[in-house]
Amino acid sequence: MSMDLAALAARFGVGNRVAVALGALGGPVVRLVGAGSVAEIALQGAQVLDWTPDGASPVLWLSPTARLGTSQPVRGGVPVCWPWFGPHPTDAAKPAHGFVRTRTWEILSSRADADVSEIVLATRTGESDHALWPHSAAVELTVRAGVALSLEIATRNTGAEPFRLTQALHTYFSISDISTVHIEGFDGLTYIDKTDGNARKHWSGPIRFASEVDRIYLGHAGDTVIHDGTSGRRIIVGKSGSRSSVVWNPWDEKCRRLGDMGPAGYRTMVCVETANAGDDVVMLAPNGRHVLSATIRCA
Ligand code: TA6
């Protein structure tokens, strides 16, 4: 291991509960062993790559072509979309989903107790980011692995001006086959249909998939339940600090166009993203702080 990785391992390792190592995707990762599950988080983008409950299959989908250390974000796990969700609101030349997915975050702290193992990662915007985003902020991501996986992204405005924030924990879930999945939790909500010119539509009932789905559900503050009809597994996503969620499956043509999901990757994944997106914009005053959290468990 390189010296800095060995130093990080020495400083933040906690027995057999928290380790810092070189991961299989070719970059530094933090491994958490909680009571009931294990997780792996890349320092690149503070991206959760794996969450696997004891005795079960991985809950998060990860592209078979995923590699760390390239200029491209890793497809899968939980990308952190920040400080804007989707394309930049006024400048399409800026990177989609903000600019913290490809940078290396620092480790702030680690701990383990009888139930969870935890890591806190951090980054901040600096002068070099101001061409992309002319504000100052400090961001921390806290990940806890136990009987559930919890992620909390906390943003603090460290500048003198207010700013608008949109963001998402862009979670890719692993499912048996998209044709046997249905998702509950969005009944009666308005959604923005990104496959239909961002038209606003009304939704009722469970979500099923037979073509590309790319929707921002508005006024969504409750739980989401992903039913895997083939395995019988239910994945429950709880959240706080969010009134919008994104549901996405690229289907076959966009999957091919993206080119980094493996052959027919769309069949074994679905994204349910815990967000502040669409009309759900966070305005942060100087020294203001906002926390967006997602808690994932299986039943
Ligand atoms: O959240 C859904 C979405 O905005 C889709 O429109 C698609 O672009 C997806 O995110 C993946 O974005 P990425 O920049 O990671 O390829």
End-to-end CA distance of the chain: 38
Pairwise CA distance, residues 260 & 8, whole Å: 31
Give the distance from CA 118 to its chain's centroid: 17
- pLDDT given at position 263: 86
From the CB of 96, is ligand 1 less than 6 Å away?
yes
- pLDDT given at position 202: 98
Question: Could you identify the atom of ligand 1 that is nearest to the CA of residue 273?
Answer: 1
CA of 262 to the centre of ligand 1 (A): 16
- Residue bearing the CA closest to ligand 1, atom 8: 86
Question: Mean pLDDT over all residues of the chain?
Answer: 97
pLDDT at 67 over 70: yes
- pLDDT given at position 299: 94
Question: Could you identify the atom of ligand 1 that is nearest to the CA of residue 258?
Answer: 16
Pairwise CA distance, residues 48 & 176, whole Å: 20
Which residues are known to be catalytic? 170, 273
Which 3 state secondary structure label does DSSP give 176? coil
From the CB of 214, is ligand 1 less than 6 Å away?
yes
Which run of H or E residues covers position 66? none
- pLDDT given at position 4: 92
Distances (CA, A) of 113 to 14, 78, 143, 294: 10, 24, 14, 20
- pLDDT given at position 126: 87
CA of 5 to the centre of ligand 1 (A): 31
Pairwise CA distance, residues 29 & 66, whole Å: 14
Give the distance from CA 252 to its chain's centroid: 22
pLDDT at 3 over 60: no
- pLDDT given at position 208: 98
Which run of H or E residues covers position 218? strand 213-218
- Residue bearing the CA closest to ligand 1, atom 15: 75
State pLDDT tens for residues 248-280: 999 999 999 999 999 899 999 999 999 999 999
State pLDDT tens for residues 11-48: 999 999 999 999 999 999 999 999 999 999 999 999 99
From the CB of 262, is ligand 1 less than 6 Å away?
no
Give the distance from CA 281 to its chain's centroid: 18
Please state the φ and ψ torsions of residue 238, each to the nearest 5 degrees. -100, 165
Residue of 195, 214, 270 to mutate, ligand 1, most atoms within 8 A of C-beta: 214
pLDDT at 293 over 60: yes
2 pLDDT band, cuts 50/70/90, is: low
**How many CB atoms are located within 10 Å of the residue 255 CB?**
20
Mean pLDDT score, 286-298: 98
State pLDDT tens for residues 91-123: 999 999 999 999 999 999 999 999 999 999 999
CA of 54 to the centre of ligand 1 (A): 30
pLDDT at 57 over 60: yes
- pLDDT given at position 112: 98
Pairwise CA distance, residues 239 & 150, whole Å: 9
Contact 100, 45 (CB under 8 A): yes
Pairwise CA distance, residues 208 & 230, whole Å: 14
CA atoms within 13 A on the CB side of 273: 30
DSSP H helices in the chain: 3-12, 251-258
From the CB of 215, is ligand 1 less than 6 Å away?
no
Mean pLDDT score, 127-151: 97
Give the distance from CA 92 to its chain's centroid: 22
**Single pTM value for the model:** 0.98
- Residue bearing the CA closest to ligand 1, atom 14: 96
From the CB of 76, is ligand 1 less than 6 Å away?
no
CA of 299 to the centre of ligand 1 (A): 28
